[in-house]
Amino acid sequence: MKKTLHRILYRTLPLEGYLRAVSRLFFLWQRLGLGRRAPETEYVYHLPQLVRAGDTCIDIGANLGYYARTISRLAGPAGRVYAVEPVAPIRKVLSRNLRRCGNTEILPFALGAAAGPVRMGNDSARENGYFGTGRNFVNEGGGRSDVEFTAEMRRGSELFARLPRLDFIKCDIEGYEAVVMEEMRPLLERFRPTVLIETGGENRPRIVRLFTRLGYAGYTLDRGREIPLSPGSTKDIIFRPGAERPEDR
């Protein structure tokens, strides 16, 4: 049903109208408390266990603000949220969705291991029949994509070098997470933030090794509760500094 609705909206609306419509639907679902156990939305409802008032947070791959808006509310006036989103059409709607979030700053970059212009792509319309807003990827191979964007890349370790604190990172960047997290390792070592990350394929063991070596423990969600990361899991991972337990937050 949800996919069918997305296809109809994508075929009948201009891109900005489509992006605004799907984001409105998401926030409506959230207000109604729907999808608390659905894999694609359950972690949004878990954010109160990850973010506290006064926290400094980074949302890497902020998309349309599904996480950033809730993070902003939880961090409160004393907190700070940096929403990183490189794709201009998505960022335009993101800005609208975060217009009442006074503690949030939108950064128009892709994060990576170098600085400079990059090409990004999105092939989701060919696969699903609609534009998947979270399916944008850095096109390092240079092949042709269904939808292409240009963006500016920055090093996260430099972009956030002057932060006085960093408490939470959410990262969802379609296969580029290992590159970004390894480049931001100095910040992970310095601040020991809690990290929520989407990862899969060959990147997943690479990410797990990185955080294990940094002394983090991994967890996934099971019916709204954090359980230790298991080898066969494919769900998003919550990494907590080793001395911190889920019940401590």
pTM above 0.85, yes or no: yes
The per-residue pLDDT for range 189-203, each reduced to its tens digit, is 999 999 999 999 999
The per-residue pLDDT for range 18-53, each reduced to its tens digit, is 999 999 999 999 999 999 998 889 999 999 999 999
68: β partners: none
Q: In the chain, where are the structural domains located? A: 36-241
Q: Between 3.40.190.10, 3.50.50.100, 3.40.50.150, 3.90.1150.10, what CATH number should domain 36-241 receive? A: 3.40.50.150
41-46 contacts at long range (C-beta below 8 A, 24 or more positions apart):
42/221, 42/224, 43/196, 43/221, 43/236, 44/70, 45/224, 46/221, 46/224, 46/226, 46/238
Lowest mean pLDDT among 84-88, 140-144, 145-149, 165-169: 140-144
What are the E-state strand segments in 4-146?
56-60, 80-84, 104-107, 110-112, 116-122, 137-138
